[in-house]
């Protein structure tokens, strides 16, 4: 399979378009066993290949970025100290940070989405760079950067629902629709995070 390059034009639908592209590539190359690799270059062009001949390539983990919410809220306390530290530094409720992590990666620090979002809080490479995150797979760096970005969205919109929608779909989509965009994925995401948030509130006391 030759390298395929795709320039993302519309951020709001980038994840869906890239997921479809990867599926098509896999079907076209079904006779050849192997992995699909991707990276986003400095011009915002997304590259796909089954031959990782560039050090920037990372394997694509084919999974649903936002799976159906489990019947029970995921329970994990391993990152609570890290979450509390960064939440206090950015004046963000720690339960909200934990809820975003649960919804984004299910506490998997090595998670990679179809669109290339990475780590616990699923930071896109360009966002990670802007936040000074050198290694998005390091929990300490990822949670710091993700919490700072969440704080920025809260400052911009002033309420949880719109801030979470912007975290999921991008602030451009929230601005264009003057609120939570009418995307099923985004609305499900906002509801899920808020449900997790109410549950995790007791993890951090008062």
Report how far residue 65's alpha carbon sits from residue 169's, in angstroms, rounded to the nearest whole number.
Answer: 13
Tell me the catalytic residues. Answer: 104
Contact criterion met (CB below 8 Å) for 135 and 81: no
For the chain, residues classed under CATH 1.10.530.10 are 80-204
Contact criterion met (CB below 8 Å) for 4 and 21: yes
pLDDT digits (tens, 9 = 90+) for 81-117: 999 999 999 999 999 999 999 999 999 999 999 899 9
Report how far residue 163's alpha carbon sits from residue 182's, in angstroms, rounded to the nearest whole number.
Answer: 15
Neighbours of 158 (CB within 10 A): 9
Q: Is residue 133 packed enough to be buried (19+ CB in 10 Å), middle (13-18) or exposed (0-12)?
A: buried
In this prediction, residue 64 carries a pLDDT of 42
Contact criterion met (CB below 8 Å) for 93 and 196: no
The stretches of 55-159 forming alpha helices (DSSP H) are 80-90, 94-105, 125-130, 139-157
Pick the CATH number of 80-204 from 3.90.1150.10, 1.10.530.10, 3.40.109.10, 3.40.1180.10: 1.10.530.10
Residue 146's beta-bridge partner residues?
A: none
pLDDT digits (tens, 9 = 90+) for 29-71: 533 445 666 766 666 567 777 777 777 777 665 444 444 455 5
- Collect all residues with Cβ–Cβ distance below 8 Å to 60 and sequence separation of at least 6: 22, 35, 36, 37, 38, 48, 112, 114
């Amino acid at each position: 399979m030759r390298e395929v390059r795709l320039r993302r034009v519309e951020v709001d639908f980038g994840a869906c378009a890239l997921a479809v592209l990867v599926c098509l590539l896999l079907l076209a190359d079904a006779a050849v066993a192997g992995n699909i690799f991707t990276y986003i270059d400095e011009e915002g062009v997304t590259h796909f290949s089954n031959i990782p001949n560039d050090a920037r390539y990372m394997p694509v983990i084919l999974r649903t970025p936002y799976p159906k919410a489990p019947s029970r809220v995921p329970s994990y306390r391993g990152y609570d100290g890290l979450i509390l530290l960064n939440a206090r530094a950015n004046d963000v409720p720690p339960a909200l940070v934990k809820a975003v992590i649960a919804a984004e990666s299910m506490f998997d620090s090595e998670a990679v989405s179809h669109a290339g979002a990475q780590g616990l809080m699923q930071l896109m490479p360009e966002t990670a760079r802007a936040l000074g995150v050198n290694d998005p797979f390091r929990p300490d760096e990822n949670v710091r950067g993700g919490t700072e970005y969440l704080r920025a969205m809260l400052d911009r919109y002033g309420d949880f629902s719109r801030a979470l929608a912007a975290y999921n779909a991008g602030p451009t989509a929230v601005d264009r629709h003057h609120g939570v965009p009418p995307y099923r994925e985004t609305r499900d995401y906002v509801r899920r995070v808020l449900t997790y948030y109410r549950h995790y509130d007791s993890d951090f006391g008062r």
